[in-house]
Amino acid sequence: MKNWLNLLSKYYQRIVNSIAFYPTIIALAFMVFSIFVMRIEFNDLVIELKSNIERVLVHDSNNARLILGTIVGSLISLMVFSFSMVMIVLNRATSTLSPRVIPGLISDKFHQVVLGFYLGSIIYSLILIVNIDAPGVEFSVPSLGIFVSMILAIVCMGLFVYFIHSISQKIQVDFILNDIYKLTKKELEGVDHSNAKKELPNTSDWITCLAKDSGYLKKIDGPGLTEFCKKHDFRLNVKVSIGSFVVKEYPFIEISKELDEDVIDQLSSYFTLYTEERVSDHYLFGFKQISEIAVKALSPGINDPGTAVKAIDLLSDLLTKLMEIDEQNYIPNSKDEPLVFVRPVPFKDVMFQIIVPIREYGKKDVSVLVRLLDCIKHMIYSDIHQKRFTSLLISYVENFLTCSEEYIDNKLDKESINDRLKEVNACLEKENQFQLL
């Protein structure tokens, strides 16, 4: 049963995040609404209502067809133009930012609602056209329905104006960066680090289970998994971090005792794997997307160091917040028993994945180097009391200087770098301070 629920959950995520989800739902709702309007159009109460708004209703069938035909043609043009604008945004994001940001842009609810409203209004108006001069109907023109169609057309024009405003913002790299930054920050704030870490038991005699599928480890059903472990009286250790890519047949988890094959199949259903990287699933994806935008901006085809500098600034703040989080290494149940051990994403792994590519592509640009030094300076200052990551951060400063040494060849660049090194040295003990250039 759990396998079916997990499969349904995967399909649900794919459907909900599809660009066609909301348009389809809204179009179906409009279709039902049009049938409802036609059913009540010639009701006695509705006829009485129409008599009070006689002047704004259409009674001639030719005028009715003309109005509805005009509305349908106009809305089709608006829908095609709006959809084309969405495609332009996605194409621009792919070519100038990163393909990984596309799932987030596609799932933008407002754009889907606008397209759905257009499509629904078209379907509504087409159904009304079919019912003009319909045989067996006492009144040949659904005047109230046509009046509603005109109101929908006016609403669609208002949505179109706001859609243009929205799409002009969505296409800006600063807006996309800020959006990813806010989502990543939200995910960091939601990380559970309330409980102290538990010591991982000796797993040398535990049984290794292989991954049943390939994909990114999106999430673990913690409450369900802990209850499952308690029910079958075993403990479990997840060997990969959430957000890591798992290949089918890879040693994925370890269990403290041998289980039946059907129990292991049920166990696999508590882990969700998929191939897309969504920031809303794990903060690591947000870090990677911001880093990829910076790297793309530094490529010769784009050549936009300003975007890279801003991305580094945002990463600086996010990394500083990540340093303050000491993720717990187990999923607690109701009694805080350590039945399920997990592997938090090591901070040094996050640093390597997001900083090294920027350093490699930006080592010839002194403005990028200076901003990377600022980034490390902020983190060293944040870690000045606990000193958990100071040695790691010092190694990155040394790495930056070594990789960029041959490109720092003028006095002005050296002065700018020395100013940052002085600020870094102010946060370090004397034996760890850097020699100025």
Q: Please compute Rg for the chain using Cα positions.
A: 29
Give pLDDT, residue 193: 61
How big is the chain, counted in residues?
437
Measured distance CA(26)–CA(32) in Å, rounded: 10
**Ramachandran angles phi, psi of 93, nearest 5°:** -65, -40
Determine the 3-state secondary structure of 387 from DSSP.
Answer: coil
User: Per residue in 88-121, pLDDT tens?
Assistant: 777 777 777 776 677 666 667 888 888 889 999 9
Measured distance CA(2)–CA(307) in Å, rounded: 45
User: Per residue in 317-369, pLDDT tens?
Assistant: 999 999 888 776 777 766 767 778 888 888 888 999 999 999 988 888 888 89
Q: Do the beta carbons of residue 155 and residue 120 sit within 8 Å? A: no
- Burial (CB < 10 A; 0-12, 13-18, 19+), residue 15, is exposed
Distance of CA 176 to the CA centre of its chain: 11
Distance of CA 396 to the CA centre of its chain: 29
Q: Do the beta carbons of residue 129 and residue 63 sit within 8 Å? A: no
Residues of the chain with pLDDT under 70: 1-11, 13, 17, 99-100, 103-107, 134-140, 192-197, 328, 333-334, 336
Q: What Cα–Cα distance (Å) separates residue 217 from each residue in 242, 281, 354, 385?
A: 5, 9, 19, 34
Measured distance CA(100)–CA(291) in Å, rounded: 11
Measured distance CA(328)–CA(187) in Å, rounded: 15
pTM, 2 dp = 0.79
User: Per residue in 393-416, pLDDT tens?
Assistant: 889 988 888 888 888 888 888 888
Give pLDDT, residue 140: 67
Supply the DSSP string of 195-234, one letter for each residue: SPP-PPPP-TTSEEEE-SS-EEEEEE-HHHHHHHHHHHT-
Contacts of 13 (CB under 8 A, 6+ apart): 274
Measured distance CA(417)–CA(423) in Å, rounded: 10
Give pLDDT, residue 25: 92
Give pLDDT, residue 310: 92
Measured distance CA(397)–CA(424) in Å, rounded: 9
